[in-house]
Structure 1
Amino acid sequence: MFRRTFWFSTGVAAGVWATTKVNRKLKQLTPENLAVTAANKALEAGGRLKDRAVDFAFDVRDNMARREAELTDALGIDAPADRELPAARRRAAIENHNSPKNNPRYVEGSTYLTHPYNRNEDH
């Protein structure tokens, strides 16, 4: 009698355990949970990638400064570290020869006069 009770209770416990395990797995596989899991993993990966990119940028900057110092010493250049940038230059605007304002017949407020050689004119 005790043997049957033992195996019956063992079977019930195994059934409850298996049912609980299956229900948890099914909850994990719902579309909402899959979306949340994917979003969390993407955020973690983005954070790791950002940290590595920042570390890489610092390494590049440090090595660039070191190499610049080596080249400066090798070439004998004693340039100040904080040089000012040259003043910005103004560039002349390029004239558009096909513009109606360059046409001697153009009058302000009149309709658009086309040049006979204008390729952009609709034919």
Structure 2
Amino acid sequence: MTTLHLKDWRRRPTWMQRRWFMGPAQNTNAALLTDWLLSVSLCVCLASILPASTAIWALSGLLSVAGYVWLAFAITQAGPPAASPNLTAWDAALLSFAASFGVQIAAYLGAFSP
């Protein structure tokens, strides 16, 4: 026997519900990745004005600082780090730290030397 839902009198099919829920998540992920890419590009621009001998290490330091800024934002503003289907500020902090460690490893292996 079917029941009458007074609050939800326009029931959508399941495929429409799934599509509706996917839209905001993709917008949230794109917005966070855009913000993270802007912070990384700021780090790259600031490191590019330094001499070539210190630019790589400065870039690594700036990416670490950006990671700490994202981490502070995640602690104060974002929710818990787990059980979120979207990207959060915790993920942006991890991406910044990973980029910093990647630059350090690449510099140590000599990828940036002439």
TM-score normalised by L of structure 1: 0.33
TM-score normalised by L of structure 2: 0.35
More helix by share: 2
Larger Rg: 1
Determine which structure has greater relative contact order: mean sequence separation of CA pairs < 8 Å that are 6+ residues apart, divided by chain length: 2
